Amino acid sequence: MLKLQTKTLLALASVMLVLIIVITLASLASFRDFSIRAATEQTRTSAEMIRVALTESMLNGTIHQRDSLLSRITQIDGLDEARVIRGPLVQKQFGDGLNIESLTDPIDLQVLQSGKSVYTLVGGYLSAEFRATVPYIASSQGDVNCLSCHAASEGSVLGAVTLIASIQHMRKAALLTIIILVGATTLFSIISLLFLRKLLQPLVITANEIEQAVRQAKAGDFSIRVQQRSNDEIGAIARHFNSLSEGITTKLSEIRHNVAHLIQSQPSTNGDLLADTANTVSGLVKVSQFKQAIEEDESSEEVFQRISEVIQTEFNFNQFSIYEVDQTKRKIAVICVDGIAQAPIQWCNDDITEKCTTCRVVRTGHSIDGTENTLICRSFSNEARQEGKVYFCLPVIQSGGVGSIIQLVLQADDLPRAQHARPLIESYLREAAPVLQAKSLMASLRESTLNDAMTGLRNRRFLEEYSETLVSQCKRRGTSMTLIMMDLDYFKKVNDTYGHDVGDSILIDLANIFKANVRDSDLIIRYGGEEFLIILPDTNANEGHLVAEKIRKAVEVFQFKAGGVLINKTISAGLADYPGNGQAFWQVLKYADVSLYAAKDAGRNQVVCFTPELWLSEEKY
C-alpha cells in the first residue's frame, strides 16, 4: 500500500507531467499555426511582387526576361521556388511560353479552374516546406487594366504563381523555444515536488509514528510517543496524541491497580494493558453476578454447585475437588469431584475425610501451591502424582477457620493459565465465603428448630414439615411405613418424687435406648413430654411390632438413675401402618395414638397394633 507522501508526490508529478505534455502540444500547435500564417503572408507578398514585376515587364517590353526575374525572386531568404503558370486564355492568346509555364500539377489546375488560392504544407502535417499557389485574375480596376493587353473577360483567371517557401528555420526556432519552455516547466515541477516533499515530510513522519503507536496501542502498549517536529497543526496533532496516550496509560494503569487491589493480586507489568484490564473488569462483573446468584440460592449445596460450574465453564478446569470441613467433628466431606456431586474421593488420600487436619490447607489455614513441589502436602494422591499432575488448594475461610476447600488438579501445560486465573478464582471464593457461612448458619438454626434441645431428637415441627416427604417416599418406592407412638408409664410420679432434673435425665437415657434399637434411616421424634414417635420407613406392621417389642423390653430391663438410686420403668406403645391402616399420614398417626391409649388401658408395658375395632371404640367413647 502506497504511503501518503508517495501518493501525494505521484499525484502532483502526474499533474505536472500532464501540464508539460499539454504545454508541449499547445506550443507545437501554436508555432505550427504561426509558421503557416507567416509563410502564407510571405508567399502572398512574393506572389504580388511577381505579379507587379510581370505587369511592368509587359508594359516595358521586357517580358521575355521574366525567367531571370523569377530566379532573382527565389534568392529571397526562405523562398525555395517560384514559377508562373499560364492559364488557357493566355496560352491561346500568346502561346505556351516557357516550358516551366506549361507544367501543371493538380493544385495548379485546381487554382486555374477555381480562381482561389491554395496554401498548404508540402508532404504532410510535419513537412518543413510550404506551398502557395495564387491565381492572377483579370481586372480592369486598379492602376493597371489587364483587359487592355489580354483578350479576357473581367474576373477571368489569366494564370497562377506557385511559390514554395521553407519554414525549417521557424521550426527550429519553435522547437528551441518549446524545449526551453518545457525545460523551465520541468525544472519548476521538480522544484515544486522537492519543496512539497520537504513540506510533507513532518506530516508523513508524524502520521507513520501515529500509525505505529496505534498498532502498539491495539496490542495494549500505550508507551509510544510521537515527536513534535513543528509548531503548526502537525505539531499540535503530535502533542494532542501524546497527551491522549498519556491520559489513557495513566487511567488504565490506575484502573488496573485498583482492579488488582480488588482481587488481591499484584498488577501485571507487561502484556496487553487494555485487554488485561478489560478481561479483569469483565471477570469482576461476573463475580458480582455470581454473588447475587448465590445469595438467592436456598442451600450451601446450591452454592457449591455454582462454584463447580464456574470452575468448569469460566476457567475451563475439569479436574478438581470441592471439600466441606466440619470443624466440630474434625472431618472433611466430599462435595463434588470433577463436577460430579457426592462422587468418591479421587485426588487425595481417603484419610482426610476422617481427620481433617491431615489436609495441609485445614492445618495451615492458607492456600497450598503444589505446582513446584507436589510433596508439600502428603495427602495428595500418589497415583495422580505419578501421572505428572500438580495441584492448587484454595481455602474458603468461614468464621476464622477453613470452611471448605477448592482443589484444582492440573497438568504441566495448565500452569500458566491457572496462575493467571488464580486471583479471579480467589475473588469468587471470597464472595462465596460469607454466603456459605450464612447458609450454614441458617441451616444450623433451622436444624435447631427441628430438633429437641434436651434429647437431640427430632421434634414435632420436623414432623409437620416432612410428613408429606415421608408419604411421597412410600408412594415412590411402593413400600409401607410403620408409626409407633410410645409413652413412658407413670412418668409424672418420677417428676413428683425425684424432681424434673431426674425426669429429664430419664428422658435422655430413653432417647439413647431408642437410638440403639432402630436403624439410622428410622426417625425418632419427641412428640411431647414423655411421648415419643418412631417412624420406620420401608417397614410393615408385623416388622414394626417386632421393633416396638424390642424397644419395650430394652426399656423394661434398663435401670435409670434417680439421684442416688436406680429405678426401673416401662413403656407402652401403639402402632399403625401406612398405607395399610390409612391413606393419610395424620390419619395413621391418629390410629397409632389410639393404639397407644389402648395399650395403657390394657395395663401398660405392652405393644398394641391398630385394628378398626379400636377406632370404633374411640368414637363410641
pLDDT at 576: 94
Matching CATH topology for 4-172 and 300-444?
Answer: yes
393-430 pLDDT tens trace: 999 988 788 989 999 999 988 888 888 888 889 888 98
Q: Is the predicted pLDDT of residue 392 greater than 60, yes or no?
A: yes
More confident residue, 63 or 579: 579
Give the phi and the psi of residue 336 in degrees, each rounded to 5: -160, 155
The whole-angstrom separation of Cα 216 and Cα 203 is 20
113-166 pLDDT tens trace: 888 888 888 776 666 788 888 888 888 776 667 777 777 788 788 888 888 887
pLDDT at 516: 93
More confident residue, 352 or 261: 352
Q: Could you give the percent of the chain with pLDDT greater than 70?
A: 88
Strands, E assignment, 489-585 = 523-528, 531-537, 559-562, 565-568, 571-578
**If residue 160 lies in a helix (H) or strand (E), which one and from where to where?**
strand 157-166
- C-beta neighbour count of 161 within 10 angstroms: 26
Sequence-separated (6 or more) residues with CB below 8 Å from residue 431: 287, 288, 290, 291, 294
The structural architecture, per CATH, of the domain 300-444 is 2-Layer Sandwich (3.30)
State the Cα torsion 298-304-307-313 to the nearest 10°: -90
The whole-angstrom separation of Cα 274 and Cα 282 is 12
User: Which of 83-92, 97-106, 589-598 shows the lowest mean pLDDT across its residues?
Assistant: 97-106
User: Which of 87-91, 384-388, 477-481 shows the lowest mean pLDDT across its residues?
Assistant: 87-91
Q: Which class for 289: exposed (0-12), middle (13-18), buried (19 or more C-beta within 10 A)?
A: exposed
- CATH no. of 4-172: 3.30.450.20
The CATH class for the domain spanning 460-620 reads alpha beta
User: Which of 320-324, 355-359, 606-610 shows the lowest mean pLDDT across its residues?
Assistant: 355-359
Contact between residue 607 and residue 573 where contact means Cβ atoms under 8 Å apart: yes
pLDDT at 620: 45
Confidence of residue 15 (pLDDT cuts 50, 70, 90): confident
Contact between residue 482 and residue 541 where contact means Cβ atoms under 8 Å apart: yes
Question: If you count them, how many residues does the chain have?
Answer: 621
pLDDT at 101: 63
**Is the bond into 395 cis (omega within 30 degrees of 0)?**
no
More confident residue, 577 or 216: 577
Contact between residue 486 and residue 599 where contact means Cβ atoms under 8 Å apart: no
Q: Which residues are catalytic?
A: 530
168-208 pLDDT tens trace: 777 777 778 888 888 888 888 888 878 877 777 777 777 77
Contact between residue 377 and residue 360 where contact means Cβ atoms under 8 Å apart: yes
**If residue 394 lies in a helix (H) or strand (E), which one and from where to where?**
strand 390-398
Mean pLDDT confidence for 573-600: 93
Task: Write out the three cell numbers for 108.
Answer: 495548379
- C-beta neighbour count of 464 within 10 angstroms: 11
Confidence of residue 621 (pLDDT cuts 50, 70, 90): very low
The whole-angstrom separation of Cα 102 and Cα 120 is 22
Give the phi and the psi of residue 226 in degrees, each rounded to 5: -95, 135
Give the phi and the psi of residue 451 in degrees, each rounded to 5: -115, 150
More confident residue, 55 or 285: 285
Strands, E assignment, 460-540 = 481-488, 523-528, 531-537
242-299 pLDDT tens trace: 888 777 777 777 776 666 666 565 555 555 666 667 777 787 888 888 889 988 888 8
Q: Which class for 352: exposed (0-12), middle (13-18), buried (19 or more C-beta within 10 A)?
A: buried
Q: Is the predicted pLDDT of residue 2 greater than 60, yes or no?
A: no
Contact between residue 514 and residue 571 where contact means Cβ atoms under 8 Å apart: no
Q: In this structure, is the dihedral angle defined by the CA atoms of residues 434, 417, 344 and 401, taken in order, positive or negative?
A: negative
Locate the domains of the chain by residue range.
4-172, 227-296, 300-444, 460-620
* Angle, in degrees to the nearest 10, between helices 460-477 and 415-450: 110
Task: Write out the three cell numbers for 367.
Answer: 492456600
pLDDT at 111: 83
DSSP strand pairing (79-86 vs 157-166): antiparallel
pLDDT at 269: 56
436-493 pLDDT tens trace: 888 777 766 666 677 888 888 888 888 888 888 889 889 988 899 999 999 999 998 8
The whole-angstrom separation of Cα 437 and Cα 398 is 6
CA distances from 38 to 6, 32, 34, 115, 132 (A): 47, 10, 6, 22, 12
pLDDT at 546: 95
